[in-house]
Chains A and B, each alone.
Chain A
Amino acid sequence: MGKKVVEGIVVKVTEDVVVLLCPDGTFKNVARPTHEAPQLGERYTYIEKKTSWAKYTTAAAIFLLVFISYLFLPFSQNASAYVVAIDINPSIELMVNDAMKVIDASANNVDGEKLLATVGTKGQSLSVAIKKIITYSEEAGFFLEEQVVTTSVIPIKEKENHVIEEMEQTIKNSVDNKKIDVVVLQNSKVTYEEAKKNHLSVNHYRFFKELEHEGVVKTIEEVKGKSIAELRKMKTGEKAIDNAETKNIEPKQNKSSRSDDVNSKQNKSDKLDDEDLKQNKSSKPDDVRHKQNKSDKHDGVESKQNKPSRLDGVSPRQNKSDKPDSSGSSNQEREKEKEKGTTLSQNKQGETQNNNQGMRNKQNQDKERSYRNPAKQKN
């Protein structure tokens, strides 16, 4: 595109144009320079600027840009920015984009599939989707065992802490039922991918990691097929026992009155029983059964245990789980009772100072035993 040069004599000047009479006898209108007005009869040279086609180029460029951006916009919208993994018992994953809209949802277990089949979550905002999921779960009775919703937020693109915090807030706010506990975990993309590899939900995987770290479980197989609530119990059960011991034993140690000690033991044993019941209702640890035979002298204690008033000092959570047991499984309780009795007697034999420590060790052993058994059975 060569520059166009127009040369001629100024014949007229108007507001917009200068009319030139060119040497070939034709007339040409050329743009008038802004701060100049050429005189009549003046020889005038006009060099056509490139603006004429630059204008078209810019217009074309803008059009192209818009076109391209329209091409790519849907892709960027579809790209999920976060994954929200929700485990009640139904285990589902919600793909959420930057605008906090659910783009896609997938289930990790049968309950989750049912849930997604009934609850349409696509295209809704995160809070609405979570509300729906939780109301459905309530109606379907997934909260009977434990009223905990475990969620994980996994940023896929990049980590923006404030966004994640916001999401946590939305998740927590969207659960209006005060009875339901919401736990929000943060997980990295790496964890998410590892979980995918192992065909587990992120929350499961996370719990597995923790349990593995604490030595409760060894392989992923042990975790598979269990609900989060069960996993939680495996984890928290341990902690709760620790707490119970420190709470109940320490102050009463000083008194060292036997009946009190037994009481505290009872509470603990109730709890253990409870867990035993849940996890392996059918099987009982053999060694416990053995002990049962040995200890006949604790009958008096057992009779006490069945009275509800005895359970006063127990934490409400334990209390809840105790109630069904106290009516049904007196036999098992007795076993425990006996077990405790033996431990107690053992401890009594040992030094009183180390008593607490020894108790705890013993307790842990018991618990481990009780956890391992069901797992073994399954395998």
Chain B
Amino acid sequence: MIEMSNTEKAILDAQLGNELVREQLLRHYKPYVINTVGHICKRYVSWSEEETSIGLIALNKAIDTFQPEKGRTFLNYVYLLIKRDLIDFFRKEQQLQFVSLNDENEGASKNNYEIAQSIDQFQKAKQTNDLVEEILELSEALSHYKISFEELEKFSPKHKDTRFSLIEIADAFCNDEECVTYFLKKRQLATTLFSKKTGYRVKTIERHRKYIVTLILINLHPQWTQLRQFIQKGGES
């Protein structure tokens, strides 16, 4: 909740005319925009496409018009605006290839099911929104370390034992203040320093370097409750 109020504060700041905060907000929610646009278009979209620009404009509009007292989360609001604007855009374009007959039929048949689901979805939304916020924050944090999500598969442990030992390493790292400050300051993982101190093998750390960075980041942000669950759950199971 703390960070929720933070975003709300930031949004209010931006609404009042703080361009820097607005810029930060826009950058923070960019991955969400592209993902949402892709989700609505039912295909992958890149930043060079018109739809994504519409999404960004919608995001900007959402920052301007967001009213926290109406009981909506910001992400929900952004999603709503992006969807509305995109539908408008599609109508205006009258792109036959997009709104094809098949698609419409599908939409009609899906409609009832979608309505029924939307209630479920809304209830889930609150949970999901928190999760999405956390993911967005993590992705931003990782970008500082020049890590992208798609690379992480390579560095992920394949076996339970390695996973446990990696979690152990991350815990040990977080307990070492010198390492943590170096990590945050230089945005680098001080492998040699750390292995000298704790005796973990450099080879193991190097092999799973980026995964360990992710684990440390999650450990260092206790507010990411949902993401933490994944790590801890993983440790337990």
Contacts and interface: CB of A to CB of B under 8 A. Distances in A.
Interface of A: 9-15, 17, 19, 21-29, 32, 34-42
Nearest to B34: A13
B237 A13 contact: no
Contacts, number: 97
A23 B214 CA distance: 15
Contacts of B131: 9, 41
A259 to B, nearest CB: 106
A306 to B, nearest CB: 104
Interface of B: 31-32, 35-36, 38-39, 41-46, 128-129, 131-132, 135-136, 138-139, 148-150, 152-153, 156-157, 160, 163, 167, 211, 214-215, 227, 230-231, 233-235, 237
Given A13-B44, A35-B42, A25 B234 contact: yes
Contact of B148 (A9, A12, A42): A12
20 contacts: A9-B131, A9-B135, A10-B35, A11-B138, A12-B150, A13-B39, A14-B150, A17-B150, A19-B149, A19-B150, A19-B152, A21-B227, A24-B234, A25-B231, A27-B211, A28-B156, A36-B43, A39-B35, A40-B31, A42-B128
Contact of B163 (A9, A19, A21, A24): A24
Is the contact region of chain A dominated by helix, strand, or loop, or is it mixed? loop
Contacts of A36: 42-43
B135 to A, nearest CB: 6
A27 B149 contact: yes
Contacts of B152: 19, 27
A11 B31 CA distance: 10
Is the contact region of chain B dominated by helix, strand, or loop, or is it mixed? helix
A59 to B, nearest CB: 25
B237 A23 contact: yes
A120 B31 CA distance: 79
Contact of A40 (B32, B42, B211, B231): B32
B153 A29 contact: yes
Given A24-B237, A26-B156, A37 B43 contact: yes
A146 to B, nearest CB: 81
B233 A40 contact: no
Contacts of B136: 40
A13 B150 CA distance: 9
